Structure 1
Amino acid sequence: MRAVVVTEFGGPEAVRVVDAAVPEPGARQVRIKVAAAALNPVDAGVRSGVFGGTGVLGLGWDVAGTVDAVGEGAAWQVGEEVVALVYGTAKPLGTHAEYVVVDAGAVAAAPASADAVHAATLPLNALTAAQALDLLGLRPGQSLLVTGAAGAVGGYAVQLAAHQGFGVTGLARAGDEELVRSLGASAFVTDGVAGGFDAVLDAAVLGERALAWVRDEGAYAGVIPHAEPASVRGVRTAAVEVSADGGRLGELVRLLDEGVLSTRVAEVFALGDVVKAHVRLAEGGVRGRLVLVP
């Protein structure tokens, strides 16, 4: 099968499509025939060496596809359409491949309302947003600022927070106001207000700058593990390390099917054009996800 890997760190040109053995599922694992897989900034981080590692590193965290083989004890059937998150920055094979093996507990039934290309944009970004909101511990009616609200994680955070009854303000570029409000933000800003919010979900990775916008004894959640700023003024600070939780992913699929969440696809690339996809990601300004199709 074809798979996308990195053997030497660098720019988009470091990405390679190689021939690899089709992986076999072990106990409580399933093999998925990949229909679509999103390209995320974390893949660019792996490619460029941000996370280190040696040898062959597979790229891709999100997958939508069909169960192709089932290991012992895995409660899935061959032929079921599914989505899943494959966690890890140092895995030998990721979801940017024709087949991928996934722990059964990371898998959820695919949405009925979205095709594979759109479904592939859900797992990593929506799970990150949902689990970051969990860290904040907000109550309905409390105020939340989402930075990077027009991005993939920020957009899901706005939708989920509005659904949970929080007062959501989205922070993004001025040209993104209509989009951010359409996602459910009741207010929009291009800069924060010192001490103005009960909590901040910092999808734009602004760090201490965003922390200043949290009221005393409020809460801050970042989206890069272990990179949250130090606490000041009694503000609780934390950063989400996304968990491959199939049950929670199933809840997010349900919200997608109910219209609470929406997916955004910016552009679709063939797997063989993965270098072009990395170039496009590096250019910035992408609204929605880039998706690879084998």
Structure 2
Amino acid sequence: MRAVVVRTVGGPEALELSDVPVPVPRSGQVRVRVEAAAVNPVDLATRSGALIEAGLMEPREVIGIGWDVAGRIDEVGPGVTEFTPGDPVIGIQDRLDVSLGTYAEYVVLDVGAVASAPEGLSPVEAATLPLNALTAQQALDLSGLGSGQTLLVTGAAGAVGGYAVELAARRGTAVVGVAAEQDEPFVRKAGARWFVPRSADLARSVRELVPGGVDAALDAAVLGLPALGAVRNFGAFVSVIGGAAPVPLRGVRVHEQWVAGDAAALGRLSSLAATGRLTTRVADTLPLEEAARAHRLLAEGGVRGRLVLVP
């Protein structure tokens, strides 16, 4: 089968389309025939070697690329009763120590990282859900916020930030969304009560809207200290990028959120997407052999939604 791998880390040219053996599911695993795989910033960090330099993964002879997948169950391993061949699913490859990611025609995943695909959505749309929606959900859980409290979301028009705004609003949390000025209509439609352009003095602007500061911040844009300055004393701050969290000034509880596959949570997110309560956004689709072009486009910035590879 065809799969995109990295043998020598570097620029987009390091992505190599190779013929590799079809993986075999072991106990507690399923093999998915890939119909779509989203391209995420973590894929660029993996390919470039940044994650190796950060100590998050060890050097490997062959590095798999890709976290998000939508497709159909092709084979189930021993002990798996949740799915049968042909079932449409979404899933996440959340391990860095693998030689095969989701940029492939087939991928093997632990059954605990797979859920039924959202009905009514195409595989391309569904592939944009797992990594980013799970990240948003788990970050919100870390914040500890509920109804009637206030949350700052930076990067509110991005893939993680957009889901965070929608999920927080569903909880009854009042959201301050930060994004580029042209993204204000999307951010407000997603459920933000207030909007602050990213060119503004963040802490001052937020505190003018919410005197004393918001109860928590979800820093999807990795702004760090400016976002922390908008949080009240003894509030909460959640960074979704490892190593990017600021120091816990003023008693603010600072968390780094590391996403993990969670079939139950992914199933709930899938149901929300199926009923239109989560908005999936596709920037463009490209064939698997154009993975390097997808990486270049994402690196250039300005992409709204996710680029999706189709084998």
**TM-score, normalised via structure 2 length:** 0.93
Q: Whole-Å Cα distance in 1 between the matches of residues 10 and 134 of structure 2? A: 28
In the alignment, residue 212 of structure 1 is paired with which amino acid? G
* Structure 1 match to 2:195: 188
Name the SS of the counterpart of 1:27 in structure 2. Answer: coil
* Structure 2 match to 1:78: 85
Q: Whole-Å Cα distance in 2 between the matches of residues 39 and 174 of structure 1? A: 25
In the alignment, residue 87 of structure 2 is paired with which amino acid? E
In the alignment, residue 283 of structure 2 is paired with which amino acid? A
* Structure 2 match to 1:8: 8
Question: 1:1-294, aligned counterparts within 5 Å?
Answer: 1-52=1-52, 53-75=59-81, 76-190=83-197, 191=200, 192-194=202-204, 196-294=213-311
Deviation at 1:264, TM superposition (A): 0.1
Q: Whole-Å Cα distance in 1 between the matches of residues 244 and 196 of structure 2? A: 24
- Asked if 2 retains the 8 angstrom alpha-carbon contact of 1:217 and 1:234, the reply is yes
In the alignment, residue 30 of structure 1 is paired with which amino acid? V
Unaligned runs of 5+ in 1: none
Name the SS of the counterpart of 2:250 in structure 1. Answer: coil
Deviation at 1:134, TM superposition (A): 0.3
Q: Whole-Å Cα distance in 2 between the matches of residues 259 and 231 of structure 1? A: 37
- Asked if 1 retains the 8 angstrom alpha-carbon contact of 2:66 and 2:102, the reply is yes
Deviation at 1:139, TM superposition (A): 2.2
Instruction: Tell me whether 203-212 or 65-74 shows the greater mean CA deviation.
Output: 203-212
- Asked if 2 retains the 8 angstrom alpha-carbon contact of 1:74 and 1:104, the reply is yes
In the alignment, residue 302 of structure 2 is paired with which amino acid? G
Report % sequence identity: 55
Deviation at 1:226, TM superposition (A): 4.6
- CA deviation digits over 1:78-98, x for unaligned, max 9? 110100011123320000000
Deviation at 1:10, TM superposition (A): 1.3
Q: Whole-Å Cα distance in 2 between the matches of residues 54 and 107 of structure 1? A: 26
Deviation at 1:225, TM superposition (A): 3.0
Unaligned runs of 5+ in 2: 53-58, 205-211
Q: Whole-Å Cα distance in 2 between the matches of residues 219 and 49 of structure 1? A: 31
Name the SS of the counterpart of 1:177 in structure 2. Answer: helix
In the alignment, residue 285 of structure 2 is paired with which amino acid? V
- Asked if 2 retains the 8 angstrom alpha-carbon contact of 1:145 and 1:168, the reply is yes
Q: Whole-Å Cα distance in 2 between the matches of residues 232 and 275 of structure 1? A: 41
Q: Whole-Å Cα distance in 1 between the matches of residues 297 and 60 of structure 2? A: 26
- CA deviation digits over 1:19-71, x for unaligned, max 9? 11000000010000000000000000001111112311010000000000110
- Asked if 2 retains the 8 angstrom alpha-carbon contact of 1:64 and 1:116, the reply is yes
Q: Whole-Å Cα distance in 2 between the matches of residues 129 and 268 of structure 1? A: 23
Deviation at 1:209, TM superposition (A): 2.0
Q: Whole-Å Cα distance in 2 between the matches of residues 54 and 72 of structure 1? A: 28
Q: Whole-Å Cα distance in 2 between the matches of residues 181 and 208 of structure 1? A: 24
In the alignment, residue 8 of structure 1 is paired with which amino acid? T
Name the SS of the counterpart of 1:22 in structure 2. Answer: coil
How many residue pairs get matched? Answer: 294
Name the SS of the counterpart of 1:269 in structure 2. Answer: strand
